[in-house]
Amino acid sequence: SQQGEEDPQALSIQEGENATMNCSYKTSINNLQWYRQNSGRGLVHLILIRSNEREKHSGRLRVTLDTSKKSSSLLITASRAADTASYFCATSKAAGNKLTFGGGTRVLVKP
Amino acid sequence: GAGVSQSPRYKVAKRGQDVALRCDPISGHVSLFWYQQALGQGPEFLTYFQNEAQLDKSGLPSDRFFAERPEGSVSTLKIQRTQQEDSAVYLCASSTTGTSGGNEQFFGPGTRLTVL
């Protein structure tokens, strides 16, 4: 069974717009990570945020974490067609431990 | 620097056949994970190795699934008497030993198993 849920399940935007997706989880965590998966390919790590952090940036990515609400959001600014992919959040109860993934958000960026 | 590699990339098996899926982790990575990803779903944890020790196999769905990593490097996931519900993509990931800094995992391209 999966730890969390992602919302929306699918998102379609125009190139240049921002994309926001949310992730909710159920139990206490050590860290939360976001991964991207292009069609038919493996997962690529995007960003990790620890449970004692509230916000983190990496390039065009911004991640927030609210442990009181057990939720996280991923914002992709100024989207590009190459950002078209599925995005998954994954939680870990301890550093070095297994990941529990959400169901993913499928993002389509139209040129 | 090579990433995680998996073979075969695609495998078609007849129901009842045994299959073996191979994972070559990044050199020097202590931790190795196997996940199963059904179509349209997120990956689900199967099992975890630290070096050659299998520390967690709680995600293996049945005793038909068996994984090993005898020398602490290459790992093999074996599925005996395959069933149609075993059809999925099997992902392998490796990482350095977890520290207080977290645990980014590096994923291979996966093996897509189809059981007819």
Q: What is the pLDDT of residue A8?
A: 92
Instruction: Identify the band that residue A39 occupies on the pLDDT scale cut at 50, 70 and 90.
Output: confident
Contact (CB<8Å) A104/B45: no
CA-wise closest residue to B110 among B90, B85, B83, B82? B90
Give the residue, B2 or A23, on which the prediction is more confident. Answer: A23
**How large a percentage of chain A has pLDDT more than 90?**
84
What's the one-letter identity of residue A39?
S
Which residues of chain B lie closer than 8 angstroms to A1, CB-CB? 44
Mean pLDDT of A21-37: 94
B53: Cβ contacts below 8 Å, ≥ 6 apart: none
- A36, A66, B33, B15: CA torsion to nearest 10: -70
Which residues of chain A lie closer than 8 angstroms to B59, CB-CB? 98
Closest Cα in chain A, distance from residue B87 (Å): 15
Closest Cα in chain B, distance from residue A37 (Å): 10
What digits encode the pLDDT tens for the residues A45-64? 999 999 999 999 999 999 99
Q: Is A82 helix (H, G, I), strand (E, B) or coil?
A: helix
Mean pLDDT of B27-46: 94
Assess whether pLDDT exceeds 80 at residue B75. Answer: yes
Between CA B74 and CA B69 the distance in angstroms is 6
Which residues of chain B lie closer than 8 angstroms to A35, CB-CB? 107
Closest Cα in chain A, distance from residue B77 (Å): 17
- CB-nearest partner of A2 from B44, B56, B110: B44
User: Considering only CB atoms, which residues of chain A are within 8 Å of chain B?
Assistant: 1-2, 30-31, 33, 35, 41-45, 48, 50, 88, 90, 92, 94-104
Answer whether B98 touches A (CB < 8 Å): yes
